[in-house]
């Protein structure tokens, strides 16, 4: 045997290089063969199976034969595949290595994880065209789900277990049994919501969870929010033609304990007194929602001057203003030629603290312009605007236009006082107050009991938070929110009076008056009519050791300090008796 040439020998290096190139070429040829199909189409079947596992319908369709595509459009193909996956409640598909092609069919083992039928081991039989050098998949209904044989149809029969109970924070049932009854119906009727058949029937999403076609689901309220937990896991049979693929038993869900405190909920219901709007109460440190009354999270409306909390925080954070910054007393501010007036045409100004306490539009509209749209929107978004509440399906999204959409001083200034296109829910504004109460850290509002917030974010610095407490204390001590005062308890709050219709009187003798309505039958504007404005009040208490944050919105109820603030006070009085 000859000795190996030393590594530095050029001949050996050339030989190794040639061997390496040959190996790479062989690998490329093999790979090309797998893709092009000269292995009998096994590679095509493997590629199709991989796309199937990804549920990539476009990639699957691209590998069908021309004849299959002629018979079936991509839209129809996608619909059929999606329906089959929903029928089987497929959560995940995992394709294994394809076997050799036999009689024009490649067998690919799959692990099929489902929501209602457990984990199944099924084999897909993938028919291929006869052209081995350019094989394609010959589609048939047997390719709707691994495990189907030619001519078999996929079917199922499912049922839901008994619905689990909804509980208040103290364990008392808010809704239980098939008729969703409660021993505290006055509380339950406000928050539980309804269970019914979905409008339009069970759609693809619910079908994919295993719900039967006649299922009733949570439509509103807590029943909707906790639908998945309350419904449990469906069970039943999955069949391929006459063959049984899987059989399972429905599994009942566990009772859901919520954060709703019956005594606080009763106080919120009483304070609302049947009026339209909403009330929300939050525990600042955890974001736990103690009460929701009326449309507390499902209605979004202009928040009026309660939004000045956000404007002031942005101004302090950007050092555009301090608590001692002084503003001249004025009755209005003019922005881009448009007048922004104070409530009732009052002359208003002084330090930032005084301007906040008396809710001076003539100060805060220009202040918002000075802060700038970008910083204003950023602060609002830090506090929960422009995003959904992930823990509360169905909650209205509180919105402020993006900075790029706030064109001009008028748009920015109007937004700074909670008007224009700014809208918020009572729950969102309670969360804003809760964030100030919690030292500038925002705990995501939740209806699930927690010992510490699972999702929290610092929205403002401790220094800004301290200044905001000073501002909000002044509102209740001597400003527009004095009617919220509770003897012996320091309350930090902010009023809001949001215009919901134009309050400028119309000159009926001047057709050119821009305030003249196009509709001649439109009701006349009545100055100072309470119906012209929504009343808001947000607060937290006790101010130095906050345990609660509250927001009250009363639709068409006039000034926030006159109506919403007393309602919030009544809620706080009752809620502060709850020691947890």
pLDDT of residue 32: 40
Question: Cis omega (within 30 of 0) on the bond before 321?
Answer: no
Taking a C-beta distance cutoff of 8 angstroms, is the pair 126, 49 a contact? yes
pLDDT over 70 at 6, yes or no = no
Inter-CA distances, 84 with 47, 53, 144, Å: 20, 14, 6
Residues whose CB falls within 8 Å of the CB of residue 250, separated by 6 or more in sequence, listed in order: 159, 160, 161, 232, 233, 234, 235, 236
pLDDT tens-digit profile of 557-579? Answer: 899 999 999 999 999 999 998 76
- CATH for the stretch 38-152: 3.10.450.100
Tokens read off for 279? 């009330």
Condensed to tens digits (0 to 9), the pLDDT of residues 405-415 reads 998 999 999 99
Looking at residues 260-264, what average pLDDT do you find? 97
- Go through the chain and tell me how many residues it has: 580
Does residue 203 or residue 176 have the better pLDDT? 176
State the average pLDDT over residues 259-278. 96
Nearest-angstrom CA–CA distance, 129 and 67: 10
User: Does pLDDT of 1 surpass 50?
Assistant: no
C-beta neighbour count of 99 within 10 angstroms: 15
φ, ψ dihedrals at 286, nearest 5°: -110, -15
Model confidence at 427: pLDDT above 60 = yes
Q: Between these two residues, 128 and 525, which has the higher pLDDT value?
A: 128
- Condensed to tens digits (0 to 9), the pLDDT of residues 25-43 reads 333 333 444 334 446 689 9
Kindly state the percentage of the chain with pLDDT values over 90. Answer: 78
The residues, any chain, with a CB within 8 Å of residue 177's CB and separated by 6 or more, are: 162, 165
DSSP 437-457: HTTTEEEPPBSS--SS-SSEE
pLDDT value at residue 37: 41
pLDDT tens-digit map of 76-131: 999 999 999 999 999 999 999 999 999 999 999 999 999 999 999 999 999 999 87
Contact 370, 352 (CB under 8 A): no
The per-residue pLDDT of the chain, averaged, comes to 89
Q: Which of 39-43, 87-91, 266-270, 427-431 has the lowest mean pLDDT?
A: 39-43
Q: What is the mean pLDDT of residues 446-465?
A: 87
CA atoms of 537 and 559, how far apart (whole Å): 10
Confidence of residue 390 (pLDDT cuts 50, 70, 90): confident
Q: Quick check: 501 pLDDT over 70?
A: no
pLDDT at res. 511: 55
What CATH fold (topology level) applies to the domain 159-257?
Answer: Penicillin-binding protein 2a (Domain 2) (3.90.1310)
Contact by Cβ (8 Å): 574, 490: no
pLDDT per position as a tens digit, 296-345: 999 999 999 999 999 999 999 999 999 999 999 999 999 988 888 888 88
**Residue-wise pLDDT tens digits, 11-22:** 443 344 333 433
Mean pLDDT of 457-462: 94
Q: What's the CATH superfamily of 262-575? A: DD-peptidase/beta-lactamase superfamily (3.40.710.10)
Please report how many Cα atoms fall inside a 13 Å half-sphere around the Cα of residue 501, on the Cβ side: 19
> In whole angstroms, how far apart are CA 146 and each of 88, 162, 284, 427?
11, 32, 51, 47
Cα(259)–Cα(297) distance, integer angstroms: 15
Q: What distance in Å separates the CA atoms of residue 42 and residue 127, rounded to the nearest whole number?
A: 10
pLDDT of residue 391: 85
- Which of 427-441, 523-537, 538-552 shows the lowest per-residue confidence on average (mean pLDDT)? 523-537
Domains in the chain: boundaries: 38-152, 159-257, 262-575
- In the block, tokens 């927001």 appear at 551
């Amino acid at each position: 045997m000859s000795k190996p040439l030393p590594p530095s020998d050029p001949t050996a290096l050339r030989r190794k290089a040639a061997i390496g190139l040959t190996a790479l070429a062989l690998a490329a040829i093999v790979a090309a063969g797998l893709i092009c199909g000269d292995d009998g189409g096994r590679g095509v079947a493997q590629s199709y199976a991989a796309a199937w596992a990804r549920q990539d319908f476009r990639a699957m369709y691209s590998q069908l034969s021309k004849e299959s595509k002629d018979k079936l459009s991509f839209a129809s193909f996608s619909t059929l595949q999606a329906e089959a996956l929903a029928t089987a409640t497929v959560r995940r598909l995992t394709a294994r290595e394809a076997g050799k092609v036999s009689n024009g069919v490649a067998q690919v083992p799959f692990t099929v994880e489902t929501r209602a039928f457990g984990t199944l081991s099924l084999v897909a039989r993938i028919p291929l065209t006869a052209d081995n050098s350019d094989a394609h998949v010959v589609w048939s209904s047997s390719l709707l789900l691994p495990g189907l044989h030619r001519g078999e149809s996929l079917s199922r029969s499912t049922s839901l277990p008994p619905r689990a109970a909804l509980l208040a924070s103290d364990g008392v049932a808010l809704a239980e049994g098939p008729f969703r009854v409660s021993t505290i119906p006055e509380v339950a009727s406000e928050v539980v919501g309804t269970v019914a058949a979905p409008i339009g029937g069970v759609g693809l999403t619910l079908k994919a969870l295993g719900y039967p076609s006649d299922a009733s689901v949570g439509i509103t309220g807590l029943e909707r929010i906790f639908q998945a937990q309350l419904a449990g896991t469906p069970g039943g049979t999955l069949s391929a033609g006459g063959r049984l693929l899987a059989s399972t038993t429905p599994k009942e869900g566990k009772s859901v304990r919520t954060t709703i405190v019956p005594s606080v909920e009763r106080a919120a219901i009483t304070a609302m007194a049947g009026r339209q709007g909403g009330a929300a109460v939050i525990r600042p440190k955890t974001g736990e929602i103690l009460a929701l009354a009326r449309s507390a999270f499902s209605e979004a409306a202009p928040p009026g001057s309660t939004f000045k909390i956000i404007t002031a925080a942005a101004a302090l954070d950007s050092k555009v203003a301090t608590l001692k910054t002084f503003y001249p007393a004025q009755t209005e501010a003019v922005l881009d030629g448009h007048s922004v007036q104070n409530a009732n045409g009052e002359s208003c100004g002084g330090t930032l603290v005084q301007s906040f306490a008396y809710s001076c539009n003539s100060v805060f509209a220009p202040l918002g312009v000075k802060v700038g749209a970008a910083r204003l929107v950023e602060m609002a978004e830090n506090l929960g605007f422009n995003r959904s509440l992930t823990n509360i399906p169905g909650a209205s999204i509180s919105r402020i236009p993006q900075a790029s959409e706030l064109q001009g001083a008028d748009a920015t200034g109007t937004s700074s006082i909670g008007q224009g296109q700014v809208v918020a829910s009572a729950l969102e504004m309670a969360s804003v107050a809760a964030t100030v109460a919690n030292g500038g850290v925002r705990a995501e509002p939740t209806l699930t009991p927690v010992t510490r917030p699972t999702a929290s974010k610092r929205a403002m610095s401790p220094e800004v938070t301290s200044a905001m407490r000073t501002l909000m204390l002044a509102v209740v001590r001597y400003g527009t929110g004095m009617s919220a005062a509770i003897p012996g308890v320091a309350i930090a709050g902010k009023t809001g009076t949001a215009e919901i219709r134009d309050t400028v009187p119309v000159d009926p003798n001047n057709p050119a008056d821009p305030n003249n309505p196009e509709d001649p039958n439109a009701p006349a504007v009545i100055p100072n009519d309470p119906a012209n404005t929504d009343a808001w009040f947000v607060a937290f208490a006790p101010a130095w050791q906050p345990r609660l944050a509250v927001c009250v919105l009363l639709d068409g109820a006039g000034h926030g300090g006159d109506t919403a603030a007393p309602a919030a006070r009544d809620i706080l009085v009752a809620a502060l008796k709850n020691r947890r």
